[in-house]
Amino acid sequence: MSTILKEKVKGQVAWKGTDLAKDDSWVYYLSEKTVASLENALVHVKQKGLKAPDFNKEDFPIPDIYEEIIYFVEELENGRGFLLIRGLPIERYTDEEASIIYWGLGLHMGIPVSQNANGDLLGHVKDQGFSLENSNVRGYQTKLHLPFHADGSDVVGLLSLRKGKSGGHSSIISSMTVYNEILEKNPEYLGVLCRPFYFDRRGEEAPGEPPVFTSSIFNYYDGKLSCRYVRLFIESAQAKTGIQLSKVEIEALDLLDSLLHDENLHYNMMLEPGDMQFVNNYTILHSRTQYEDYEEPERKRHLLRLWLTMPNGREISPEFAMFIDENTGKPGRGGVPQRKTTSGGIVETLK
């Protein structure tokens, strides 16, 4: 069981949606100089005949915006825990060129990690006609409402290429503020939320690996509070373990959900084409409203996604890790361990 933090989380990270609505200083606008630097790096990559994600950060030189990168990285771990970067003139680029810029920027912020067992490093968020009733389907493959959740990395980023016909708003909430609310009004449930729950791996497990893993929802370690929550994955894990949630566990999750839906606490935004959003998965939960898409394939809603391990990322406790790194013996800091088939047909897991 995780240590229970008995004091409220303080600082910018414990924001409320009403705070963001009053002041848009959290929106970072790219300058013409910064856009020019990104475009020069784009030309450099294209001249070398490279495409995303098959190049490294040395192939995408952006020395002129070093200080901005430092600000982005610091804001994600020690500031509000999220960024909305606006001003990339997406209409100038093909999808391939936009992916080069986005991948290149991500390489300078952190280390991209695998988003699924196939090892995808640059994800495509678009409707593929799937249903979440299939326990191996992930929410980004549908156009359905996605409840608040955290992804399996230090930071998740999105670049909007095209938005849908209607809907598809991005919602974020400070899980630190949610903890503060529970501590103040319903502290009796913190003991439940700080002990392990089973989470469904949704078909991303390697051969011989359990289809579930255990993690507390809130975890206090090395001076920092972290949160991991995906209720759908907790509920679908029951069918795979045969272990049902207890009455008090359901009550605790219901309380958590009621706070996530508090309009004073969360904030909704529309990611316009060219917008880049990054969130710290340990301090921010994110959601998406259902959307209606266009019929024409070239107009359909499409976002690019990155999962990043950050250079200043927090240490996490072994019981909060999704896996233990076989090479270092330390808690895995993010990403889905990649499965690789050898020439002999044997499936290995790379961590």
pTM of the model: 0.91
What are 55-92's pLDDT values in tens digits?
Answer: 999 999 999 999 999 999 999 999 999 999 999 999 99
Phi and psi angles of residue 183, each rounded to the nearest 5 degrees, phi first = -60, -40
Q: How confident is the model at residue 140 (pLDDT cuts 50, 70, 90)?
A: low
Q: What is the DSSP letter of 101?
A: H
Q: Give me the torsion for CA of 74, 315, 245, 185, rounded to 10°.
A: -50
- Mean pLDDT calculated for residue range 111-118: 90
What are 171-217's pLDDT values in tens digits?
Answer: 999 999 999 999 999 999 999 999 999 999 988 887 888 999 999 99
Per the DSSP assignment, residues forming a β-bridge with 308 are 112, 155
Cα 269 from Cα 297, distance rounded (Å): 24
